[in-house]
Structure 1
Amino acid sequence: MAATRVIVSASSTVTTSLLKKTPLRAPTPSFSLCFNYGKNGHVLQKRRLFTCKSIYNPQVQIKEDGQPETLDYRVFFLDNSGKKISPWHDIPLHLGDGAFNFIVEIPKESSAKMEVATDEQFTPIKQDTKKGKLRYYPYNINWNYGLLPQTWEDPSFANADVEGAFGDNDPVDVVEIGDRRANIGEVLKVKPLGALAMIDEGELDWKIVAISLDDPRASLVNDVDDVEKHFPGTLTAIRDWFRDYKIPDGKPANKFGLGNKAANKEYALKVITETNEAWSNLVKRSIPAGELSLV
């Protein structure tokens, strides 16, 4: 019988919009919606603020089905009632004050290629496969890696800034440079610092460079120049890692747009806003979903 474990993510920063009676569709990038609830879950008061810290702490659980490093291993996300939710669709993107939720798929210093299963119901995290075999990076990734919820790189959109490359049909990736090794399924509160425009076999695959707000050096870094000052060599190391990781498998190196450099925070926020809007159109079915799960 497959093993099942339930883990409470102590560092979760998901808002109370995970309650059953509050839908999570159609987020608004410029502000947070803050809710006060009665015991029955009905909204008593709603107001628009840039911060609402009282609603950041409801815990999200993750449930592991199967054994790690097997084909049937899945990490599901549950709300407070134990109901399955999608980490891609149901966890809010925006937290206010320039902070965003970041979902960890691959902890730093590990090599199993974990990812949200965008074509499965509730989009659990699983290990990627190729020709029926589990996929691993040829060497460990040196940063926490995962996704921004409620974002989507539209494969029908040609980005004029990046050689007209089309989106890769996935949520936006995040490279979190903090010191702590996170766990699969953790939800961290991060701030973006820059963006790398990776082109993978002709598809645009954004890498948002960010840092957890819990990191001791988080207050020191607010843009790409600060990263170079306080994390010297990190931006080059991230670019080179993602450029070269497919070479051991006999594939060509990945390319990068935007002058082969990390764009600044302002540009990163532009990418997040645009991909959040694309996701909103996707879940509203304004754009064909294809094989993607919208549940």
Structure 2
Amino acid sequence: MIPNFKAHPWHGISAGEDAPNVVNTFIEIVPSDTIKYEVDKKSGYLKVDRPQKFSNIIPALYGFIPRTYCHEEVKKLAIREGATDVSEGDHDPLDILVLCSHNIHSGGLLMDAIPIGGFKMIDKGEADDKIVAVMVGDQVYGHMKDISELPQAEVFRLKHYFLTYKNLPYEEATCRIEEIYGAEHAKEVINASLKDYSDKFGGSL
């Protein structure tokens, strides 16, 4: 008899056989959500992190790449690219935003995504990269290979979200985007986070 169990979405699922070219992605939040969900690191279940207090709506599917971790290697990339105030990675799996033309109603699911770029975000001295990807096979976005193929207005929309989603009207902003990068650097960030995961939790790359 096969025992019943649920694989932990962070530790129990691979980043994908063809990572970093195509990556497994665990989706936590969809654009219709007014609640920010995130995976509970102990149980692997989605939990409520916080309700969105203001008008920010996630502009695309949002989640993380399994078996990634942002620490020393991700920090080194940020410093290499010119960030002077980074002390560490953010100690979380690598965040990913997946562009998709379909209406997906809820998170807690896996999908294959192709990284096309990302944002090198620095938040309170921590490297907190946001990978931008497209869903494999999507009729509108699936053919794109680099963030430079996106309309500039779409890039600005994604950037604006990440610069404002943590801000409260009466508080000073704590994060900035150091760089917008293309597919090749996105793959470097993914590989760095896979190495950080291996160093932290063990297992082969």
Counterpart for residue 217 of structure 1: 140
Superposition deviation, residue 220 in structure 1? 2.7
Q: Look up the SS of the partner of 2:118 in the other structure.
A: strand
Counterpart for residue 174 of structure 1: 96
Counterpart for residue 62 of structure 2: 145
Q: Look up the SS of the partner of 2:184 in the other structure.
A: helix
Counterpart CA distance in 2 for 1:189 and 1:137 is: 31
Counterpart for residue 135 of structure 1: 51
Q: Look up the SS of the partner of 2:66 in the other structure.
A: coil
Superposition deviation, residue 281 in structure 1? 1.3
Q: TM-score, normalised by structure 2?
A: 0.85
Superposition deviation, residue 164 in structure 1? 4.6
Moved over 6 A (4+): none
Quick check: 1:281 aligned with 2:199?
yes
Counterpart for residue 105 of structure 1: 28
Counterpart for residue 156 of structure 2: 236
Give me the CA root mean square deviation. Answer: 2.3
Superposition deviation, residue 247 in structure 1? 2.8
Count of aligned pairs: 194
Contact 1:163 1:257 in 2 (8 A): no
One-letter amino acid of the structure 2 residue matched with residue 270 of structure 1: E
One-letter amino acid of the structure 1 residue matched with residue 23 of structure 2: F
Counterpart CA distance in 2 for 1:157 and 1:270 is: 9
Contact 1:153 1:169 in 2 (8 A): yes
Contact 2:73 2:193 in 1 (8 A): no
Counterpart for residue 265 of structure 1: 183
Contact 1:246 1:252 in 2 (8 A): no
Alignment of 1:4-153 (within 5 A): 81-96=3-18, 98-118=21-41, 120=42, 122-128=43-49, 134-136=50-52, 138=54, 139-153=56-70
Counterpart CA distance in 1 for 2:3 and 2:103 is: 28
| Aligned-pair identity (%) | 24
Contact 2:120 2:129 in 1 (8 A): yes
Superposition deviation, residue 245 in structure 1? 2.0
Counterpart for residue 245 of structure 1: 165
Superposition deviation, residue 155 in structure 1? 6.4
Superposition deviation, residue 168 in structure 1? 0.5
Question: Structure 1 pair 234/202, CA: closer, same or farther in 2 (3 Å)?
Answer: same
Question: Structure 1 pair 147/157, CA: closer, same or farther in 2 (3 Å)?
Answer: closer
Structure 1 portions without partners, runs of 5+ = 1-39, 41-79, 129-133, 286-295
Deviations 1:69-103 (A, max 9, x none): xxxxxxxxxxx853122100111102328211111
One-letter amino acid of the structure 2 residue matched with residue 266 of structure 1: E
One-letter amino acid of the structure 1 residue matched with residue 166 of structure 2: K
Counterpart CA distance in 2 for 1:207 and 1:248 is: 21
Counterpart for residue 108 of structure 2: 185
Contact 2:117 2:147 in 1 (8 A): yes
Question: Larger Cα Rg: Structure 1 or Structure 2?
Answer: 1
Structure 2 portions without partners, runs of 5+ = none
Counterpart CA distance in 2 for 1:95 and 1:284 is: 18
One-letter amino acid of the structure 2 residue matched with residue 168 of structure 1: D
Superposition deviation, residue 248 in structure 1? 3.0
Q: TM-score, normalised by structure 1?
A: 0.60
